[in-house]
Amino acid sequence: MFMPLSISYMEKFFGSLWRGIKTFLFFLICLTWGILQNLIGFITFLFLAVKPHYRYKGSIVTIVKGRWGGISLGAFIFIDEDIKKEAAPTSVFVNHERGHCIQSIILGPLYLFVIGLSSMIWAGFFDGYRQRKGVSYYDFYTERGADKLGGIETSSPSGYRFVVK
């Protein structure tokens, strides 16, 4: 009788080969379906290559001076120095930006408009609205989706966010 193999079984059986295949597929999708944002991210990375950086789940995380938050451009994540203090894999911020990387894979060329532009407008122009209405930055669909894909849950009613996977 035929039984389908689970991914966890494949990882145990094939180990690093399976991880290599997943990494290859990740970059293949990034360099085809998500070429636009990855090209922008790569060019940005080249300008910032002297800055501290590390790999995390197939992405390249670069730490940039200042207090401005973070941005994901395909497989390239750029975060400020304050976020660096909470290093991956437990960092809510790095995993949130990793969630945006996954959104990029799903949406491909639409990512910059559906997620990127919407997210930048929400971050840049709606701070007063969020404060008046008591709405979290992470309640917006782009940010809520990135949290979910990044393995972040929010405990209610405190609003505390934490990494679960």
pLDDT in tens, 79-110: 887 765 665 556 788 889 999 999 999 999 99
Whole-model pTM: value is: 0.80
Q: Which pair of structure tokens corresponds to residue 53? A: 């950086």
The answer to whether residue 97 is domain-embedded is: yes
Q: How confident is the model at residue 165 (pLDDT cuts 50, 70, 90)?
A: low
Peptide bond connecting 52 to the previous residue in cis, omega within 30 degrees of 0:
no
pLDDT at 2 over 90: no
Answer with the residue of higher pLDDT: 145 or 27.
Answer: 145
pLDDT at 10 over 80: no
* Whole-number pLDDT of residue 18: 74
Total domains in the chain come to 1
Q: How confident is the model at residue 52 (pLDDT cuts 50, 70, 90)?
A: confident
Nearest by Cα to 69 from 86, 55, 57:
86
**Region label for 57, one of left (φ > 0), alpha (ψ between -120 and 50) or beta (otherwise):** left
The answer to whether residue 8 is domain-embedded is: no
The answer to whether residue 64 is domain-embedded is: yes
Which residues are CB-neighbours of 44 under 8 A, at least 6 positions away?
73, 76, 78
The answer to whether residue 6 is domain-embedded is: no
The answer to whether residue 4 is domain-embedded is: no
The answer to whether residue 7 is domain-embedded is: no
pLDDT at 6 over 70: no
The answer to whether residue 154 is domain-embedded is: yes
**Which range of residues forms the domain containing residue 92?**
15-163
Q: Could you give the count of Cα atoms lying within 13 Å of 131 in the half-sphere of its Cβ?
A: 5
Q: Give the type of residue at 26.
A: F
Distance CA 1, CA 162 (A): 42
Surface-to-core class of residue 104, CB atoms within 10 Å of its CB (0-12 exposed, 13-18 middle, 19+ buried):
buried
The answer to whether residue 24 is domain-embedded is: yes
| Mean pLDDT score, 39-66 | 90
